[in-house]
């Protein structure tokens, strides 16, 4: 079964987050299009949430900045949400 295409930004998010967590198989990224904005919902195991957020939220801010920079190449905005399963 193939997964739906997330585009370059979604694929980048999936790659980065899977390499940060202890349970990469439990990472999912979903994309919802809202006008010219793509909403990316990243879901990770509850025990891995701190590894994605980072100390003081620094890591998740960096991930969001990467998503915004990548989305510019697709002529859209990107919003990233990170939640636990």
Q: pLDDT, tens digit, for every residue of 59-83?
A: 999 999 999 999 999 899 999 999 9
CATH number at residue 66: 3.30.300.20
Residue 2: inside a domain: no
Q: Which domain holds residue 35?
A: 7-84
CA distance 21 to 57: 15
Q: Is 45 exposed, middle or buried (0-12, 13-18, 19+ CB in 10 A)?
A: middle
Is the entire prediction scored with pTM above 0.85?
yes
Phi, psi values for residue 44, rounded to 5°: -130, 165
Q: In the chain, how many domains are there? A: 1
Contact 24, 15 (CB under 8 A): no
């Amino acid at each position: 079964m193939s997964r739906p295409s997330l585009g370059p930004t979604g694929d980048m998010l999936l790659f980065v987050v899977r390499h940060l967590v202890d349970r990469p198989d439990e990472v999912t990224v979903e994309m919802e299009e809202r006008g010219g904005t793509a909403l990316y919902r990243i879901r990770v195991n509850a025990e891995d949430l701190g590894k994605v957020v980072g100390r003081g939220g620094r890591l998740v801010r960096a991930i969001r900045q990467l998503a915004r920079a990548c989305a510019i190449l697709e002529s859209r905005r990107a919003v990233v949400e990170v939640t636990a399963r």
